[in-house]
Structure 1
């Protein structure tokens, strides 16, 4: 009996040591536990799920990180706001088929919330960094009952969707860490916001609390437009996609090479990063906000940001507008923005005009109307017929009308969209008159110059004829003598 007891103890100890030393499993099944000193590793060894302690913290968190990167980088955290203060954490599948994280005294620290119960639940860590709960009886291995990609923390990995599943009412967005040693939700968020109720014009925002920090320009078929940098530049080995239909609205990206390790991470700003193995660092290729004009609405209403002229402020009122507070504007306090020089007109005889602007980040779409079936001429007429319409434009294939004050416009070399801004007839008529007067004055000046030049030429010609006549007369007199 003593020998059998010794043998049993040896086997248990051996299994425990082997599980601690060799982290080769990528799945958890019911009745299996993953303790604090073990990990799950994805099949190709790219990611691992395990407990970690960030920075100078003493707390333990369950997270997904890169397996073979020397700099510990967590890309997802389960119990980000519910730390475990010792090594008692364990992970298992409970009786309802959900994945559950226990802390000290079997306290539930975190769990999945699948409404469907699997016949044979299975948790698996995939090679794209996604932790999934599925039914092992289901032949469709992509039919997930729950997945970590639906609940991102501060990091977006290739293949992850940032945005909305409208069927489930699920909004996937990034939220920053509170600090380097506290992964709980910080102040900054990054996600797609929808205009209600039609979801016609989704926009990507970085927010600091409730305040808008940065707004991406609309998707132009290639990338999001209007930033200081361009999204299509940073990663030559990656592809971007924006999906907008009745079921989903999301942004995603993919990589063309398995050797590239890329991630998008949110701190006080968004950074697109690539791991450089030779330097053992995360290299940031693209950062937003990128310059002063990227910050939301820095110039106030009805203005544009981004003057390239020397000794000229970065904020300028749009054509047909003037500073609301001239004194503040002079000292570069631009928050009050600009107001119209005159009132818009709906008179058929004195129609307002639209000035076209290229290479702009189009205005914020807080109050917009959009239509997919109109052409440019019809879009113009629609805006002109409504006295409240401030501007119109075409975003990919949509006619878009803007109402109310125009916010967050900037000069952008990668704007790729034209905006037509309404200018009151009363503001343009004097300009047209001045232009006609200037043209007439220039024409008169040109005529006067032409007359003078012709007179000079005629005078020179007459003088030359006289000289030639005098010379001939002298020659004849010489021969006569």
Structure 2
């Protein structure tokens, strides 16, 4: 601030602005604008260069402003995470409900298991070329460490949503607290050429073979002519990709914490809700007579009663809650036990009553009969 104070002279307790050429005032105004309004001046760039800091109020925008890299938080958190989001989606939540939902989610989180402990987070490429997330100057997480010290290193946010540092390529997706969950979408490690969803390392769902532009156990297709899907499986390559013709489309695949694979613009809705769903592992749901023709789905228009809470200290996922409810024939619905998504709560009573239904910050999942709807 010393260079700012020197522009003003104190005389008889009044501040006198020295006589300067008009061009000097213009330069001064522009300088102070960027000094006091740091974020807008900084955020109109897609690149962070070696020696620079991206602070918790700064952001990077991809060249066509499709994606934004920024610090963010949940609930009472300030900004303990660094993530990439879709940018400039219409905020009309009702007209563009699915776009709105994806707009509010990070598509990649840099430090999902290493939140910043205070409000002074930053991203830096240091003089050694190391890309790190810092907290009050101390390292929280090293994202990339080069084997050789580079010169003029930089990290750039692309319109594809990729954050690139030289040969570094990373992406991902997340909702809610971004620590690693129980489910992973990958190519079958057993060499079948199928897509699989793993739950804690075990097969949860198999796509089946790729036939006529889709996988056997899905209704996979692009929702419109501007999205093209490609699947390659041979001796040298196994990959599943999609391409779009326009940045106005936001095709995405998101893995839900319940193992539900949801598509946006791409139709790829995969969910193991019962023993009747194709591709799902038989061991996840016993074939109980009381569950014949039933599955679970979100039911926020019901009133739930006769609850039982499992110890919230248990490391239980939402899918674990579903399995607990499935095995108990008197269980009609399940959800998390707390707002922090810990433990499980099950109900033995559910009554349709939208007027009295309580809307929790988390969703209840009720039993639905296939035949009754």
TM-score (norm 2): 0.59
- The correspondence for 1:183, drawn from 178, 185, 190, is 178
CA contact (8 A) 1:235 1:285 kept: no
CA contact (8 A) 2:72 2:78 kept: no
**Distance (whole Å) between structure 2 residues aligned to residue 313 and residue 73 of structure 1:** 34
**Distance (whole Å) between structure 2 residues aligned to residue 237 and residue 3 of structure 1:** 54
Shift of 1:233: 5.5
In the other structure, the counterpart of 1:212 is 203
In the other structure, the counterpart of 1:193 is 188
Shift of 1:50: 0.8
In the other structure, the counterpart of 2:164 is 132
Shift of 1:17: 2.6
**Distance (whole Å) between structure 2 residues aligned to residue 45 and residue 313 of structure 1:** 47
> Structure 1 or 2: larger helix share?
1
- Structure having the higher Rg: 1
User: Helix, strand or coil: the match of 1:184?
Assistant: coil
Q: 1:12 to 1:32 in 2, by over 3 A?
A: farther
What runs of 5+ residues in structure 1 fail to find an aligned partner?
135-144, 155-176, 275-283, 306-311, 315-332, 334-481
CA contact (8 A) 1:234 1:286 kept: no
Q: Where in structure 1 do 4 or more consecutive aligned residues deviate above 6 Å?
A: 8-12
CA contact (8 A) 1:207 1:213 kept: yes
| Cα deviation 1:319-351 (Å, max 9, x = unaligned) | xxxxxxxxxxxxxx9xxxxxxxxxxxxxxxxxx
- The correspondence for 2:87, drawn from 50, 62, 67, is 67
| Cα deviation 1:20-55 (Å, max 9, x = unaligned) | 234201101112111011111111111111101134
CA contact (8 A) 2:132 2:139 kept: no
In the other structure, the counterpart of 1:408 is none
In the other structure, the counterpart of 2:324 is none
In the other structure, the counterpart of 1:119 is 151
**Distance (whole Å) between structure 1 residues aligned to residue 123 and residue 35 of structure 2:** 16
**Distance (whole Å) between structure 2 residues aligned to residue 256 and residue 3 of structure 1:** 50
TM-score (norm 1): 0.47
**Distance (whole Å) between structure 1 residues aligned to residue 4 and residue 208 of structure 2:** 71
**Distance (whole Å) between structure 2 residues aligned to residue 25 and residue 56 of structure 1:** 29
In the other structure, the counterpart of 1:103 is 135
**Distance (whole Å) between structure 2 residues aligned to residue 194 and residue 241 of structure 1:** 20
Q: 1:37 to 1:7 in 2, by over 3 A?
A: farther
What runs of 5+ residues in structure 2 fail to find an aligned partner?
9-27, 92-99, 295-326, 328-373
In the other structure, the counterpart of 2:14 is none
**Distance (whole Å) between structure 1 residues aligned to residue 45 and residue 59 of structure 2:** 8
- The correspondence for 1:298, drawn from 282, 286, 310, is 282
